[in-house]
């Protein structure tokens, strides 16, 4: 095999026994962990330690709504494992952000930072609310109060939040300010800030760019070119919209996109720049002139070469998996494919690139942002993009090699690698 050639992807044999359907997000994350731990024959004590989150905090977040009523929201910060470095993980504002979901997302961050070999552990935060219906004033209050209530767990060398579903660079600016009011100026306390406050160039686009790079390398390993691809993307926020933009620039055809309000489909290809402008004008991709309507669920069943779920978890499940036509799924969202659906897809020969590598571009550039903050230094966008491609694509190449040599799926290879690295850090530190 030439130096730069990617190993080809072949699907391993699949056990007859189906995983249970209807698992909660935490049960699903645990299912994939148990599979990986079993494959590397992890010893029982270490598995028990890695199975459990290290620390969980549940806080109340009272806010005064614009109509004068007082509402008390539930907020969480879960620190899953910090053996490899400070806890790292986003903060989500979403109605489904309960302890079970935040715990699952925190565990996925532990495996993701380990697979990418970044010097971080895994954490996640969330506030249970519908950010899409909140005013700027309400969102600012939620962010400040939530930050004050979890601030004792945070720290530039302890736990560093970032944006996720329903939060963005503005949210991170408020978090940095609320933390700084108590502990002093600390730009490295959050990543994904606006560049004017010490945020990294390229952080906002990083997860979508990473999804596009991983898609490109996967199809290359399958013997095809990115310019041949017809792509459908569920979720048109930070991850989905940027993935669409970069894949379009690489020559792929985006045939369908959707968001919470609806979706659009054009088998001949959507005008991505026009879509961006339409979305900026109307707040949604829905009803873009010259396209067919397509709901979020119908999008999963569109005829295409690559399906990128980039919205919420659990969307490809026992009920929806049967209609999926794409031969390749790249997980832009965290946990979009349930264990039941993952098993079905593998049995049908569908390649699934797991979240813990596919959407790792965001945390990789968060790491670059944190190092720039610690050094009080600023990188140009070009350097950020070059380093992102180097780190992400070399970690992915290692997974392709492992999947091929061990005869396992990409998800199993990713979990095996992540668990091994965290277990090694635990042993070296003398936890066990």
Q: Give the interface with ligand NAD as residue ranges (CB under 6 A).
A: 163-166, 207, 234-240, 258-260, 296, 310-312, 332-334, 359, 362
Q: Which residue has the tokens 């095809």?
A: 224
Q: How far is the CB of 268 from ligand NAD (least distance, A)?
A: 23
What sign for the dihedral angle of Cα 330, 335, 340, 341?
A: negative
CB neighbours of residue 361 within 10 Å = 32
Q: How far is the CB of 41 from ligand NAD (least distance, A)?
A: 30
- Going by the DSSP 8-state scheme, the letter that residue 95 receives in this structure is T
Q: How far is the CB of 134 from ligand NAD (least distance, A)?
A: 13
Catalytic residue among 88, 112, 124, 193: 124
Q: Are 151 and 145 in contact (CB under 8 A)?
A: no
Instruction: Give me the helix-helix angle, 381-406 and 361-375, nearest 10°.
Output: 130
**End-to-end Cα, the chain, rounded Å:** 41
Q: Are 323 and 295 in contact (CB under 8 A)?
A: no
Nearer to ligand NAD, 92 or 343 (CB): 92
Whether residue 124 lies in the annotated active site: yes
Residues contacting 259, CB < 8 A, separation 6+: 235, 236, 237, 240, 279, 284, 285, 286, 296, 311
With 0-12 / 13-18 / 19 or more C-beta atoms within 10 angstroms meaning exposed / middle / buried, residue 263 is: buried
Nearer to ligand NAD, 46 or 131 (CB): 131
Do the bridges between strand 230-234 and strand 87-93 make them parallel or antiparallel, or are there none, so unpaired?
unpaired
Structure tokens at 173: 């600016």
Q: How far is the CB of 356 from ligand NAD (least distance, A)?
A: 10
Nearer to ligand NAD, 82 or 361 (CB): 361
Nearer to ligand NAD, 259 or 342 (CB): 259
Nearer to ligand NAD, 238 or 291 (CB): 238
Q: How far is the CB of 350 from ligand NAD (least distance, A)?
A: 20
Closest CA to 115 of 376, 427, 420, 362: 420
Q: How far apart are CA 288 and CA 269, in angstroms?
A: 13
**Rg of the chain on CA atoms, in Å:** 21
Q: Nearest residue to ligand NAD, using CB?
A: 237
Nearer to ligand NAD, 207 or 373 (CB): 207
Which residues are part of the catalytic machinery?
A: 124
């Amino acid at each position: 095999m030439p130096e730069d050639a990617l190993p080809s992807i072949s699907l391993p044999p699949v056990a007859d026994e189906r995983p249970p359907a209807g698992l909660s997000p935490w049960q699903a994350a645990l299912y994939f962990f148990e599979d990986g731990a079993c494959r590397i024959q992890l010893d029982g004590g270490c598995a028990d330690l890695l199975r459990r989150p290290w620390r969980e905090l549940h806080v109340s977040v009272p806010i005064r709504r614009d109509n004068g009523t007082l509402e008390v929201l539930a907020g969480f910060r879960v620190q899953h494992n910090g053996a490899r470095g400070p806890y790292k993980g986003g903060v989500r504002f979403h109605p489904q952000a309960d302890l079970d979901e935040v715990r699952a997302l925190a565990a996925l961050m532990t495996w993701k930072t380990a697979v990418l070999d970044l010097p971080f552990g895994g954490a996640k935060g969330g506030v249970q609310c519908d950010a899409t219906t909140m005013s700027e004033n309400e969102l600012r209050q939620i962010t400040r109060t939530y930050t004050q209530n979890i601030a004792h767990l945070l720290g530039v060398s302890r736990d560093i939040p970032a944006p996720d579903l329903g939060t963005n660079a503005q949210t991170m600016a408020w978090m940095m300010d609320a933390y700084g009011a108590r502990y002093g100026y600390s730009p490295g306390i959050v990543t994904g800030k606006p560049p004017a406050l010490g945020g990294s160039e390229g952080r906002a686009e990083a997860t979508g760019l990473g999804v596009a790079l991983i898609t490109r390398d996967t199809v290359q390993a399958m013997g095809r070119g990115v310019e041949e691809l017809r792509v459908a993307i569920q979720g048109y926020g930070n991850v989905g919209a940027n993935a669409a933009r970069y894949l379009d620039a690489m020559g792929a055809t985006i045939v369908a996109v959707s968001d919470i309000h609806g979706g659009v489909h054009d088998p001949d290809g959507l005008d991505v720049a026009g879509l961006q402008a339409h979305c900026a004008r109307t707040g949604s991709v829905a009803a873009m002139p010259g396209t067919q309507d397509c709901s979020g669920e119908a999008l999963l069943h569109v005829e295409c070469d690559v399906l990128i779920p980039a919205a919420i978890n659990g969307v490809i499940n026992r009920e929806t998996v049967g209609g999926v036509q794409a031969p390749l799924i790249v997980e832009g969202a965290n946990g979009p494919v349930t264990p039941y659906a993952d098993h079905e897809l593998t049995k049908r020969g569908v390649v699934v690139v797991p979240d813990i590598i596919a959407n790792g571009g965001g945390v990789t550039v968060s790491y670059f942002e944190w190092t720039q903050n610690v050094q009080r230094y600023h990188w140009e966008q070009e350097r950020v993009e070059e380093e992102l491609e180097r780190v992400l694509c070399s970690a992915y190449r290692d997974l392709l090699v492992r999947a091929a040599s061990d005869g396992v799926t990409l998800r199993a290879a990713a979990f095996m690698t992540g668990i091994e690295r965290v277990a090694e850090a635990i042993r070296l530190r003398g936890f066990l």
